[in-house]
Structure 1
Amino acid sequence: MNLKRIYNTRNYIETNYNQIISINALEDISSYSYRNLQRVFYSLFQETIGAYQTRLKVENGHKKLLYSNKQISDIALEVGFADVQSFSKAFKKHFNCPPSAARNQKEFLLNDFHPKEFIACISEPEIVFVPEITAYYSSCKTSYINPEIETLWDSLLENEITEPISDYFGIITDDIIITEKSKCTYEACIVTEAIIKNLPIKKLFGSKYARFFHHGSYETLEDTYQQIFGGWFLRNDFEISHLPVIEQYIKNDSNSNTPADYLTAIYIPLI
């Protein structure tokens, strides 16, 4: 099984989730027949290709409902539905409520997952445009629990890397408010001039972000996220994009002696 090609195929679906994706395109990227690709894709990700694309559509639609002020009809078209009726039908089937109800629950959901008692000391972010970069990556299913992520990083760094690693990034692909925990994905990414033949690559950034900084252990990262979404976002008029949140591990165990000295930049994608 060529995992690199399978992950490249999944990355293609993620990038083009709101478009009509042809069987020929998937076969070209994966080098599998569509029938065999479906079998391998399901064995790895526990979803068919069609179910995965539909989930991306409705979940990205949900993100737009929570984090932007766009009209529901516009969101329906942006995420790849022919009209608002087909979006509403798929959305209700997936989330057991219509899009309008989901939007009305925004403050309740954000305060429920990111309680107000944590809102205290976060600094205002820098608003920055980050140019697109290319990174090698490995992926795992996780509800963003540290031991699972540490295991993924250990596995990634076991590869023979002949040039220095210039940057370490983590891609928070899913929103735990929206995505079922068993389907949440984390991607460990490295930037290096080395050629690593057995790892897939993907593009990162290329957009505008609100950049926050977290000081200290990864064990307390959730506290910073609680302050960002339960505080900063609800207090301001910024609209957040459906794109993934990106963490940059500026000071980590490769260049710091203790977790107390770790420094993590958190990039929240903006519209």
Structure 2
Amino acid sequence: MSDFNKKRIYNTRNYIETHYNQIISVDSLETISCYSYRNLQRIFYSLFNETIGAYQTRLKVENGYKKLLYSNKQISDIALEIGFADVQSFSKTFKKHFNCSPSLARNQKELLLNEGHPIQTITCVLKPEIIFIPEKAVYYSSCKTSYINPEIEILWDAILKNDFPDSNTEYYGVVADDIVITEKSKCTYDACIATSSLIKNLPTKSIFGGNYARFFHQGSYETLEETYQQIYGGWFLDNDFECSHSPVIEHYLKNEANCDNEADYLTAIFIPLL
């Protein structure tokens, strides 16, 4: 598939991601992708191993799960926010995906977060800065990954083959899925570039746009998970903040492009807040 055609498919997927809780018409998908719906379904499945309908439904229930874990909203309100007609239809679909009811999932929040982000490794108390960040346009490329470094490194190696003459180029990673909710085989990571340079072979989208708790991780990416353990297994459970279902974003402030020693790498981690 050419870069141009791949960009159209990525634009279509991004449209579904940002409108997952709405009725998405066939006409709108055909307009964005410039494919007939039948061909779009075939290409979409070949790239992402999911039909469009299954992908939208998964986004609904997984974003609903995030809202159950990270906010205090009523389950009936969550059902409507993520695009279900009522709480009964949400509960039925949720139970089909996760083998438990939404109320049970919420009641097991602390157990689930401690299991996914065990607190026994916590060695310090994190104190984030709460800031508002406006939307930022980026070029991006995606990969399926369980958030292990080799797959992400391969993605960055490919995207960095582009020329970025802009000295103010910024590098971000969008952690689209939550490993305690999404199957590892379906987790997505976006390598994002914010630059004034024109990159013809990559699609674009917007990231950020809201309030975030900003944490800092110093050192190798190999130890990033330890910081996430401190955030979710410690800071979140010990505070009254409600988190959004939006993706977590990493900003690579000091990286291999501007720093020779991995121990000096600096990564800002942005946790989206309500």
TM-score range, shorter chain: over 0.9
Q: Distance in 1 between matches of 2:156 and 2:162?
A: 10
Partner of 1:74: 77
Q: Distance in 1 between matches of 2:165 and 2:37?
A: 36
Partner of 1:265: 268
**Higher mean C-alpha deviation, range 159-168 or range 52-61:** 159-168
Partner of 2:105: 102
Name the TM-score, length of structure 2 as normaliser. Answer: 0.97
Q: Is the 8 A contact 1:123 1:212 kept in 2?
A: yes
Residue ranges of structure 1 left out of the alignment (5+ in a row): none
Q: Is the 8 A contact 1:209 1:267 kept in 2?
A: yes
Deviation at 1:162, TM superposition (A): 4.2
- Deviations along 1:78-121, one digit per CA (max 9) or x if unpaired, are 00000000000000000011101100110001111111212221
Letter in structure 2 aligned against 1:200: P
Letter in structure 2 aligned against 1:163: D
Among candidates 152, 157, 169, match of residue 155 of structure 2? 152
Among candidates 189, 192, 196, match of residue 195 of structure 2? 192
Q: Is the 8 A contact 2:145 2:187 kept in 1?
A: yes
Among candidates 126, 129, 134, match of residue 131 of structure 1? 134
Q: Is the 8 A contact 1:172 1:246 kept in 2?
A: yes
Partner of 1:16: 19
Structure 2 residue 176 is matched with structure 1 residue 173: yes
1:1-271 alignment, distance < 5 Å = 1=1, 2-164=5-167, 166-271=169-274
Q: Is the 8 A contact 1:140 1:187 kept in 2?
A: yes
Q: Distance in 1 between matches of 2:71 and 2:55?
A: 23
Letter in structure 1 aligned against 2:166: E
Letter in structure 2 aligned against 1:199: L
Deviation at 1:165, TM superposition (A): 5.0
- Deviations along 1:17-51, one digit per CA (max 9) or x if unpaired, are 00000111101110100000000000000000000
Q: Distance in 1 between matches of 2:82 and 2:153?
A: 33
Q: Distance in 2 between matches of 1:116 and 1:168?
A: 29
Q: Distance in 2 between matches of 1:184 and 1:165?
A: 30
Letter in structure 1 aligned against 2:240: D
CA-based RMSD: 0.9
Closer/same/farther in 2, CA of residues 114 and 187 from structure 1, 3 Å limit: same
- Deviations along 1:148-185, one digit per CA (max 9) or x if unpaired, are 00000000011243434521000000000000000000
Q: Percent identity?
A: 73
Residue ranges of structure 2 left out of the alignment (5+ in a row): none
- Deviations along 1:208-240, one digit per CA (max 9) or x if unpaired, are 000000010000000000000000000000000
Number of residue pairs matched by the alignment? 271
